[in-house]
Amino acid sequence: MVEFLPFGVSKTAQDIITEHLNTPKTPSTDVFRNPNFDLRTEQGLPSDALYPNPLLDTTPPTDAPVDPCPPGYMLVDGICQPIEQFGQSSYQQDNDRDDPEERKYMSIEDMKNASDEELLEYMTSGFLKNSPLGYLPSKGTEVTLSNMFMPSQFQLLFGKQNEMRKNFIVNELKRRGYYTGMNDGQSTFNLDPSLKQQNYENLLQEETGQTLDQATQNIINTQQELSQNIANDNNYNYYTPTKPVDTSGSGIVINQDGTVDQQSYQNALQQNIINSLQSETSNYSPSLGGFTGGR
């Protein structure tokens, strides 16, 4: 029967340990390398090399790289972006930008006294529109009123003021010859000054139901009728001297025989009708032959 002894207590094991302890040891100066694969061995480095050479070439290029972006821009994710905006959030951009100038406020009295240019500049800054974005010059001169009046939540407290301001703007644009009529229940306007004469004639027809020629002839007929009534009045003093009418600046031509040139007279009447449409105090009275109280 074979007897097995533990390795630690066998004579053979003791001899191996003793030989190892008695053999002098010479320290090795070689750096350990993996015998299966070592990058230092593949790169042919000496045995004392601690680290392999880097695989990436970190040598600075001798030629400066070409910047594909224009000055003031930098390449970010393949896109040239402004340097001053890089790294900013949209919130920062909104807060860093310059605030637009505060829109000038015009009272009703200010609008009355403003020139056409000043008034239209104010109106197109928020009160008139020709697109969903407001007034855009590229969209033409036809405009309507925008919704830039008092918000609905203030209508209860300030509704009358809001309505008064809105009505004034409509009437002021009518008076200045920009009103073109109603469309789908909305007042429409055209800011082209060359259309003023036609706009006045359209306004006259809308308010009186007469064309400019018809309104002029109506005034002439009424005046002739009044003159005839005076002539038929027995109490009328035919010899009462009357002051001559000053026609300077009116465009009325006086013939050599002292009579009035009818064509120039009709033209003056038509201009007076237009002037009355421009007046804030004129009223149309068919019984009196036309507009009264104007300028």
- Beta strand 73-76 with 142-145 is unpaired
DSSP state of 246: -
Using a 10 angstrom Cβ sphere, with 0-12 exposed, 13-18 middle and 19 or more buried, the burial of residue 113 is exposed
pLDDT for 243: 45
pTM of the model: 0.50
pLDDT for 143: 92
Asked if residues 262 and 193 have their Cβ atoms less than 8 Å apart, the reply is no
d(CA 243, CA 190): 44
Per residue in 46-87, pLDDT (tens digit) is 888 888 888 877 777 777 777 778 787 777 777 777 776 555
Side-chain half-sphere CA neighbours of 82 within 13 A: 4
d(CA 209, CA 64): 81
Q: Which stretches of the chain score pLDDT less than 50? A: 90, 93, 150-158, 238-245, 286-289, 295
- Which residue from 191, 83, 187 is spatially nearest to 144, judged by alpha carbons? 187
pLDDT for 95: 53
- Which residue from 196, 198, 199 is spatially nearest to 187, judged by alpha carbons? 199
Per residue in 187-215, pLDDT (tens digit) is 999 999 999 989 888 888 888 888 888 87
Using a 10 angstrom Cβ sphere, with 0-12 exposed, 13-18 middle and 19 or more buried, the burial of residue 126 is middle
d(CA 270, CA 289): 13
- Which residue from 212, 210, 206, 220 is spatially nearest to 270, judged by alpha carbons? 212
pLDDT for 189: 93
pLDDT for 160: 67
SS3 assignment for 146-162 = CCCCCCHHHHHHHHHHH
pLDDT for 70: 79
Q: 3-state class of 101 per DSSP?
A: coil
d(CA 113, CA 118): 10
- Which residue from 232, 181, 251 is spatially nearest to 190, judged by alpha carbons? 181
d(CA 47, CA 41): 8
Q: Where are the domains of the chain?
A: 108-191, 197-228+250-295
pLDDT for 200: 86
